Structure 1
Amino acid sequence: MCLIAFAWQAHPRWRLLLAGNRDEFHARPSAPLARWSDLPIIGGRDLEAGGTWLGVAQAGRCCVVTNVRDPRDPQQGVSRGLLATDYLVGADDATEHAQKLLAAASGYRPFNLLTFDTEHGFYIGNRPSSRAQLIDPGVHGLSNADFNTPWPKTRALMKRLQAWMDAGHEVDFAPLFRALADERQAPDELLPDTGVGLERERWLSSAFIRGELYGTRASTIVAIGYDGKGLIVERRFGPEGRFEGESELPL
């Protein structure tokens, strides 16, 4: 998952409302949104590492993971592939989990992790250094940089999520999916410099990335109410943005 905007304890109906795109190589095998048969998780599944990039579990727990875009980083350490799964099936609440993971975070490959339970939300990351941050109520964003780094596409998605809430929407997620499907690229003067070159920075600056080998694989909306009930909706895409299906599951 490489672009996320979410409202935490800021919507009258939804304790957590999250909209995100997962960008990945199209050749990497993945299973669509489903209730897992072996673990109490609802989410898509990475069939290569066995984990998930975004999942929901019992008692309103939710977790999302992204990598950190820096080609200069040696990418050494423990795989981040099971970070989300470990939280979702673990016994620790978000606070306890954040405290324990922070002590070991430096040993993992570069990651950003968002964890939520019924009371608290946390951001945990290990680049440029390890830190855990309690998430305040409000609208936040995350891509492949530090929490709330103001990349153009992150700010744009946060703005559209805020507009969706200001319009009084509750279950009409079409405007959010349109925001996730936005292919407009940011002006050069607003692009970050993450070491991948100007042409690639331009290509990666849109919310939806269309490509033959790499691009947006899934757009997902998660809505969890204060009572723990809600839904998760996933739209899937293949090479060059070809639509491959949609799934919706109640929570």
Structure 2
Amino acid sequence: MCILFFHFSPNSPSAYRFILAANRDEYYARPTKPADFWENNRNILSGLDLEKGKEGGTWLGISRKGKCAALTNYLQPITNIDALGRGHLVSNFLTEDLDGLTYLKKISLEGHAYNGFNLLTVDFSNTKADMMCYYGNKGDQEPRALDPGIYGLCNSLLDTSWQKLVNGKKLFTEAINKSCGLPPENLVNELMKVINNEELSNTVILVDAKGHVTFTERCLLKPETNEWKVSSYQFELET
């Protein structure tokens, strides 16, 4: 199960504006590239899909220009093998010059062309209010901006009351409260404990009040030997 927990506190004067902890549960045989800045665009940081026909897509990414997006697949019994690749929903947002709500409204007009998905977008700005938006093509709501708060998202709609999601959201909240005021690495460690199970990829993103980004990924390199790699990146938002 793919799970995202996130805390959105736009333009917080003293705490984190954004905290995200994510588990990516994907087929281990599916070829992917661990998180790094793109070779053809050093402003964007994400993992990349390498599967034939879906190259260049991603499930989670952030840019120096103040854009972030995350995707989960919606659990459905039958999928359309001819549907468009969902990973490009994230990579396109990170590269296009559209705010999140405008982008999601555009995507909602063609949502039927994809298998089920949930898409989160964040626009960070050091001069105006941050904005976080959500759209799920299997729901009955239009794309919408989210209020400040703590949310959970898995392979159903936003804040679905699945027990695993409810329990994880509680632990996520406790980890944030426990690490309040401590260095970023302490919070990263606590959040990794919350999501640290045997999934393909665990990711934590922190954006502080001054626009400093800490991006940490724990990625499974070799399932047969349980070999993991932890990578961490830090940079300033250019917004």
| TM-score under structure 1 length normalisation | 0.80
2:105 matched residue in structure 1:
99
8 Å contact from structure 1 (residues 33, 42) kept in 2: yes
Q: 1:98: how far off?
A: 2.0
Aligned counterpart, 2:156: 145
Show the counterpart of 1:217.
200
In structure 1, which of residues 45, 49, 61 is the aligned counterpart of residue 48 of structure 2? 45
Q: Deviations over 1:129-169 (max 9, x none)?
A: 46312111010000000011121221122111211222224
Shift of 1:99: 2.1
Q: Which residue of 2 aligns with 1:250?
A: 234
Alignment partner of 2:64 out of 34, 58, 64: 58
Aligned length: 219
The residue number in structure 2 matching 1:133 is 144
Instruction: Report which stretch shifted further, 88-97 or 104-113.
Output: 104-113
Over the aligned positions, Cα root-mean-square deviation in angstroms equals: 2.0
Where do 5+ consecutive residues of structure 1 fail to align? 182-207, 211-215
Q: Deviations over 1:44-93 (max 9, x none)?
A: 11111221111001232111111111114546532212000000111001
AA paired with 2:215?
I
CA distance in 1, matches of 2:35, 2:115: 25
Give 2:8's aligned residue.
8
Identity %: 30
Native 8 Å contact 1:64 1:84 kept in 2: yes
Distance 1:130 1:240 in 2: 42
Aligned CA distance change for structure 1 residues 60 and 127 (closer, same or farther; 3 Å): same
CA contact (8 A) 1:105 1:130 kept: no
Structure 2 portions without partners, runs of 5+: 125-129
Offset of residue 240 of structure 1: 6.5
Could you tell me the TM-score, scaled by structure 2's length? 0.84
Deviating more after overlay: 165-174 vs 84-93 = 165-174
- Say if 2:133 is the partner of 1:122: yes
